[in-house]
Chain A
């Protein structure tokens, strides 16, 4: 069973090279093999669901010498989220990316980014995590600038400079951890750190790690690059960046390092709460004033990532469940919204809300899916966003953080307001004369939009109906975090080092 784990990185990494070679023979072939490769990885990640925690030692080198890959509850949730969204995004790109030249290169970069994200999710080695993080990041810098126009290049360069700074900070954290423990294996480092007294060096390392990951996940006050980079990218890439990249290489990596290596001390958790609450509020209010559809969605991502990080920072079982559930849901509805905005841009040629309007008559599918996404993210029952936001608020109340609960509730009203603004100006009202001849999007785009809308609705209903969804997806992940919180990550350490 655990021999599948390396394939999750190997298939996209290998196919990104093979795809480039084969595309010299025929351009059309990339349209087939790239989505198939992602589909294969997505199927594998569903196939692995429910298997117990297993470790895989690369090349038969036992820890702490070799690189360990680990599959546990947290990994399983992230793998499913990342690969499902990736498949729908790449299927969508088959038609959407037609207007760009050199589509095969897009597929290769996309596969590289996916390989990096899967690598970050399954690795049990700090330096290996850094390498995969860089693979995913460098591919995403290139993808943001894929249009090579003024705005794309500017956004991509800003993202690249800040991203490199974040990576350097993470590497500094790894170097300091290595200096204190003499190992880069996460479980081994955790064991060593528990046996030595807390030091200023490790406090500095924790600061470097948190700063690096907060930059990668776009938390306020490290968010400056995000509202430029995410809207400038092509729509499927925006969906990947906002939907899963900031979670896989930002939030997930932060959780792993804090809960499994450094230890979730009160300071670390409080930093997460403060960063989360700040992002939630600032992102929400900045989104209100935007007139560019994708820019509004990018600010909304900052706000929603804030919800997720804040919920994890509460340090309670319910908070973990709520955070994981919102992470899952945000991946679904934010990629849906970015893909919908891409569909609107594809049909009309603009994403400026002031020049849109009345699209509901012309684009029935896109309209329905945009409404589904907007209702989910603003927390209208029975869509999934309602339940996860409710859980976050309940978790805040049960942790005794009344102020955070009130803030979360207020910001969800703000979310509702700016999404009403978006729907009012794009879908309803009067159709501008220029847009009389627009047509509905082609099948691959419509398929991805509908699939994601169905996921948004079905997950909401599944959560409401019974505990199966929660037991299958959320509880195992929450238990991993709880193990880190209550148990000094003993289960994690024994499953990596033991066997």
Chain B
């Protein structure tokens, strides 16, 4: 189990890195990268939940019966969830990138601390 738990710890570190970039960085692109790192950390976490050492693909054919498959196969559900989640992340990323370009056109800067017309 030692291997798996160190994976979880590295996963948490990745998440922390994402949050750090999101909060501490003022550059818009770096903030966007922070959001993406965070999303990927969660995706990785979901995949890890279904992970099995030496697991096989969850496809049943004539060489294996259902009981054996249940023991050896990796959990397919998180993989399906992560696919959906990656697509959602792509949509968000595209919108963020488009906004970053538009913001640069208007303000001529990527520094979030200079983009501060809204106050109060």
Interface size on B, residues (CB 8 A): 32
Which of chain B's residues has its CB closest to A178's CB? B49
Q: Which residues of chain A have C-beta atoms less than 8 A from B31's C-beta?
A: 161
- Can you list 5 A-B contacts (CB < 8 A)? A131-B84, A141-B95, A153-B106, A154-B117, A232-B118
CB distance B42 to A154 under 8 Å?
A: no
Q: For this complex, into which size category does the number of interface residues on chain A fall?
A: 35 or more
CB distance A165 to B49 under 8 Å?
A: no
The answer to whether A164 and B102 touch (CB under 8 A), given A154-B118, A232-B118, is no
Interface residues of A in 97-149 (CB under 8 A from B): 127, 130-131, 134, 138, 141-142, 145, 148-149
CB distance B92 to A138 under 8 Å?
A: yes
Q: CA A178 – CA B75 in complex, angstroms?
A: 12
CB distance B35 to A134 under 8 Å?
A: no
Interface residues of A in 178-195 (CB under 8 A from B): 178-179, 184
The interface-forming segment of A20-28, A237-245, A288-296, A460-468 is A288-296
CB distance A153 to B35 under 8 Å?
A: no
Q: CA A113 – CA B105 in complex, angstroms?
A: 27
Known contacts A134-B88, A160-B95, then 14 further A-B pairs from the complex at CB < 8 Å, ordered by chain A residue: A130-B85, A142-B95, A150-B106, A150-B117, A151-B117, A154-B115, A155-B118, A160-B92, A160-B96, A164-B38, A165-B38, A175-B46, A178-B77, A184-B81
Q: CA A141 – CA B102 in complex, angstroms?
A: 14
Which of chain A's residues has its CB closest to B118's CB? A228
Q: Which residues of chain A have C-beta atoms less than 8 A from B38's C-beta?
A: 164-165, 168
In the complex, which of the residues A145, A151, A161 has the most CB atoms of chain B within 10 Å of its own CB atom? A161
Top-5 shortest CB links A-B: A228-B118, A134-B88, A164-B35, A175-B46, A157-B99
Q: CA A149 – CA B99 in complex, angstroms?
A: 11
Interface residues of B in 57-85 (CB under 8 A from A): 77-78, 81, 84-85
Q: How far is the CB of A207 from chain B (nearest CB, A)?
A: 14
Q: CA A175 – CA B15 in complex, angstroms?
A: 14
Give the contacting residue for A156; candidates B22, B49, B99; CB below 8 A: B99
- Does A171 sit within 8 A of B, measured CB to CB? yes
CB distance B120 to A290 under 8 Å?
A: yes
CB distance B106 to A138 under 8 Å?
A: no
Which of chain B's residues has its CB closest to A149's CB? B106
Q: Which residues of chain A have C-beta atoms less than 8 A from B39's C-beta?
A: 164, 168
Q: CA A292 – CA B115 in complex, angstroms?
A: 19
Q: C-beta contact mask, B78-120 vs A, less than 8 Å → 1, else 0? A: 1001001100100110011001101100110000000111101
The answer to whether A171 and B84 touch (CB under 8 A), given A138-B92, A153-B106, A161-B31, is no
Q: C-beta contact mask, A49-72 vs B, less than 8 Å → 1, else 0? A: 000000000000000000000000
The answer to whether A178 and B28 touch (CB under 8 A), given A168-B39, A172-B42, is no
CB distance B49 to A154 under 8 Å?
A: no
CB distance A127 to B81 under 8 Å?
A: yes
The answer to whether A151 and B118 touch (CB under 8 A), given A134-B88, A160-B99, is yes
CB distance B103 to A165 under 8 Å?
A: no
Which of chain B's residues has its CB closest to A137's CB? B92
Q: Which residues of chain B have C-beta atoms less than 8 A from A127's C-beta?
A: 81, 84
CB distance A148 to B102 under 8 Å?
A: yes
Q: Which residues of chain A have C-beta atoms less than 8 A from B28's C-beta?
A: 157
CB distance B102 to A292 under 8 Å?
A: no
The answer to whether A138 and B78 touch (CB under 8 A), given A165-B22, A168-B39, is no
Interface residues of A in 316-337 (CB under 8 A from B): none
CB distance A295 to B120 under 8 Å?
A: yes
Interface residues of B in 18-74 (CB under 8 A from A): 19, 22, 28, 31, 35, 38-39, 42, 45-46, 49
Q: Which residues of chain A have C-beta atoms less than 8 A from B120's C-beta?
A: 227, 289-292, 295
Which of chain A's residues has its CB closest to B102's CB? A153
CB distance A171 to B85 under 8 Å?
A: yes
Q: Which residues of chain A have C-beta atoms less than 8 A from B77's C-beta?
A: 178, 184
Give the contacting residue for A164; candidates B92, B116, B118; CB below 8 A: B92
Q: C-beta contact mask, A345-389 vs B, less than 8 Å → 1, else 0? A: 000000000000000000000000000000000000000000000
Q: CA A228 – CA B81 in complex, angstroms?
A: 33
Give the contacting residue for A138; candidates B46, B95, B116; CB below 8 A: B95
Give the contacting residue for B103; candidates A154, A167, A179; CB below 8 A: A154
CB distance A157 to B103 under 8 Å?
A: yes
Q: Which residues of chain B have C-beta atoms less than 8 A from A178's C-beta?
A: 46, 49, 77-78, 81
Q: CA A127 – CA B88 in complex, angstroms?
A: 12
Q: CA A23 – CA B103 in complex, angstroms?
A: 28
Q: CA A444 – CA B36 in complex, angstroms?
A: 42
Q: C-beta contact mask, A281-305 vs B, less than 8 Å → 1, else 0? A: 0000000011110010000000000
The answer to whether A138 and B99 touch (CB under 8 A), given A165-B35, A175-B49, is no
Q: Which residues of chain A have C-beta atoms less than 8 A from B45's C-beta?
A: 172, 175
Q: How far is the CB of A130 from chain B (nearest CB, A)?
A: 8
Q: Which residues of chain A have C-beta atoms less than 8 A from B96's C-beta?
A: 157, 160-161, 164
Q: CA A153 – CA B46 in complex, angstroms?
A: 33
Q: CA A184 – CA B103 in complex, angstroms?
A: 38
CB distance B42 to A175 under 8 Å?
A: yes
Q: CA A366 – CA B78 in complex, angstroms?
A: 52
Q: Which residues of chain B have C-beta atoms less than 8 A from A138's C-beta?
A: 88, 91-92, 95
Q: CA A154 – CA B111 in complex, angstroms?
A: 12
